[in-house]
Structure 1
Amino acid sequence: MTMRDVVIRDIAGFDVLTVDHVGPYLQIGKAFETLMDWLASRGLLSGEMRMIGIFYDDPTAVAENELRSKAGVWLPRAVDVSGGGPVSVTPITGGKYAVLRHKGPYEDMAAAYQWLYGEWLVNSEHEAADAPVFEEYLNNPKETAPANLLTDICLPLV
C-alpha cells in the first residue's frame, strides 16, 4: 500500500463560479471548457484563478451516468452571473478538512480516494461531514505531464 500524508486544515469558506456536470467524473473536462469559454468571453481569465472541482456522489454507490459534480474556479473578486447561462455561484463551506495531495494522472485518483476513505478515515479519530469533497488543481494539465499533476483532495470533517 502506498503511504500517503493527510494534513488537517481549517479552510475558510469561499464562493466558486461553477458549471454543473452530470456523468462520469473523468469527463468533467467538458464543463471546465464551458467555464473557461465563459470566463474568456468576459475578460475574466487571470493567473489568480484557482481551479476547483466539487464532487457530490460516491462512484461506488451511484451509477456513473448519474454522478453529480461541478467544474469551478475561484476568483479574487465577485463576478455577476445573472442573466442566465451555464455559470452559477457555489459556496464551499468553511471548516476542518482532511487534505490529501495526489501526484499523478487524474485517472489514478480513484485509488487515492479509496485509501482516504477506506484506510485513513476509518483509522482516524475524524468523521466525514455531510458536505461534498472538493479538489483543487494546483497545476495546468495542458502545461504539465500527467505524472506531475498535483491535486489537493479536500474532505470536509465534522
Structure 2
Amino acid sequence: MIESDINKRYCQSCGMPLRFDVEKYLGTNSDGSRSDEYCYYCLKDGKYIVDIPMSEMINIWIKYTDKYNEYADTAYSPKELRRILNERLPKLNRWKQKLETSNIHHQKIQDIVVYINNHLFDSLDADILSTISGLSKYHFRRVFQTVAGENIGSYIQRLRLEHIAHLLVSTDFTLNQISEQTNYQTKFSLAKAFKKHFGVSTSQYREKYKPMYDEQHAVITPEIRSILPMKVFCIEVGEKYKDELRYKLIWDRLTNYARQRNEEKSNDKFVSLSMDDPSITPIDKCRFYLGVIIDNKENDSQPGVMEVPGGRYAIFRHIGDYSLLHKFYRTIYEEWFPESKYRPQSTFSFEMYMNRPASTLKTELITDIYIPVIKK
C-alpha cells in the first residue's frame, strides 16, 4: 500500500495508513469484528490499548520511523514524519474528541473559578463545586488539578489568605473585623492559617507591606460609577508577556477573533484582566488575561469567555506610555485610596484600552483602569 494513494484512510488514533489488505493489522471492536477506523496497535476489543498524549504518540512513531516506513511503504526521515504527524493527528477522531472534551472541561473549571471568586468566603467544598460543574466528584477533582495546577482545597485556601493579606495592607481593619468579614471562626484560627501560609504573623505582614505615602502627591480624581456585567473573550497570558513574540501572537488572535464577530472594527474594546495582586500572589500563580468585550446577548459558552462582574468601580484614566502604568497604580493605591472614602473590594481589576498603540503616539495612549470599590 502506498501512503499517497488517493483513497487512503488513516488510523484515527496514531495516524498510520490503515491496511485493509491485511486484516490482522486492523484493530478490533467490542464485538470482536475488525475496526475500519483503528489499527491493531491502537484498538483492541473496542478499547484504546494505551492512553497517552498526542505528543507522546508522535514521539513513539518518530522513534520507530523505520517501522512506519516499512508498514506504510514510505521513506520519511524522522523530521519529515514529525511534520506530517503534527499536521495529521489533530484532525483525527481520537484527538478531536480529546480536544473537545478538554475545551469543555476548561470552560467548566473557568466557570467554577469565577464562582469561587464571587463566593470566596461562602461554604465551598468540593462536593458543592462538582455539582455546579456537572462533573462527578472524582472527575471534578482530577480535572480541576489539571487545569488550575493545584488541588481545589489548596486553591481556595490560598485565594482566601491572599484576600486577607490584601485587606491587611489596603485597610485599617482589625483582625477581629477581618475574621468576621471572611467567616473565620476566630481571629486566632485566621492568624494561625495566615502565618502557616505566609511565614509571618498578620501584624508583621501589615507592618512590612502597608503602603507609605508622602503628603506631597499628585492629584487624581477617578469617576465612581456602577457598571453592568460584561462578557469578555480572553486568553490567559501567564508569563507569556515576557516573550514579545508570543505576546504579539495573543494580540493577533484577539484581533482576528474580534474581526470575525464584528464588522465595525473601530468599536472593538480590548481589555486586560488582573485577578491577583503580584505583591501578594506568587508570580507563577497570578492570573492575567487579555481579552476583547463581546455582546452580552450572545449565548457564548465557548472556552475563553469570562464575565467581568458588574458593580461599583473607581475608574482612573491614564494618558501616556503603557510602561508608566505601574507608577500610576502606585499613586492610586498609595495616595488616592488612603485618603478616599473607598477601599478596593478585591484584588481584581481590569484595564480598557481606548485607542490602539499601532496608530497612536505613546504619549497619547489612553487607558481606563477599573477597580471595584466599596465604601470604608
User: What TM-score do the two structures reach when normalised by structure 2?
Assistant: 0.37
Matches within 5 A, 1:104-123: 104-123=320-339
Q: Does 1:135 align with 2:345?
A: no
The answer to whether the 8 Å contact 2:353/2:366 transfers is yes
Q: Please report how far the alpha carbon of residue 57 of structure 1 lies from its aligned counterpart in structure 2 after TM superposition.
A: 2.2
Separation in 2, partners of 1:10, 1:139: 23
Aligned AA for 1:107? S
Taking a change above 3 Å as real, the CA distance of residues 68 and 25 of structure 1, as seen in their structure-2 partners, is: farther
Q: Does 1:57 align with 2:276?
A: yes
Higher helix share: 2
SS of residue in 1 equivalent to 2:323: helix
Q: Does 1:3 align with 2:203?
A: no
RMSD over aligned Cα atoms:
2.4
User: What TM-score do the two structures reach when normalised by structure 1?
Assistant: 0.83
| Larger Rg, first or second structure (1 or 2) | 2
Aligned AA for 1:34? R
Separation in 1, partners of 2:351, 2:238: 17
Paired position in structure 2 for 1:15: 231
- Comparing 144-153 with 51-60, greater Cα deviation is found at 51-60
The answer to whether the 8 Å contact 2:273/2:288 transfers is yes
Aligned residue pair count: 153
SS of residue in 1 equivalent to 2:343: coil
Paired position in structure 2 for 1:78: 298
- Structure 2 stretches lacking a partner, 5+ long: 1-216
Higher strand share: 1
Q: Please report how far the alpha carbon of residue 126 of structure 1 lies from its aligned counterpart in structure 2 after TM superposition.
A: 0.8
Separation in 2, partners of 1:10, 1:113: 21
SS of residue in 2 equivalent to 1:127: strand
Q: Please report how far the alpha carbon of residue 99 of structure 1 lies from its aligned counterpart in structure 2 after TM superposition.
A: 0.7
Q: Please report how far the alpha carbon of residue 64 of structure 1 lies from its aligned counterpart in structure 2 after TM superposition.
A: 4.4
Paired position in structure 2 for 1:33: 252
- Structure 1 stretches lacking a partner, 5+ long: none
Paired position in structure 1 for 2:125: none
Aligned AA for 2:322? Y
Structure with the larger RCO, 1 or 2 (CA within 8 Å, 6+ apart): 1
CA deviation vs aligned residue, 1:114-144 (integer Å, no higher than 9, x gap): 0111111111111211251010100000000
Paired position in structure 2 for 1:48: 267
Aligned AA for 1:135? E
Separation in 2, partners of 1:37, 1:106: 23
The answer to whether the 8 Å contact 1:104/1:148 transfers is yes
CA deviation vs aligned residue, 1:12-59 (integer Å, no higher than 9, x gap): 11111111110276765553233223444x454622211111012223
The answer to whether the 8 Å contact 2:258/2:292 transfers is no
The answer to whether the 8 Å contact 2:354/2:368 transfers is yes
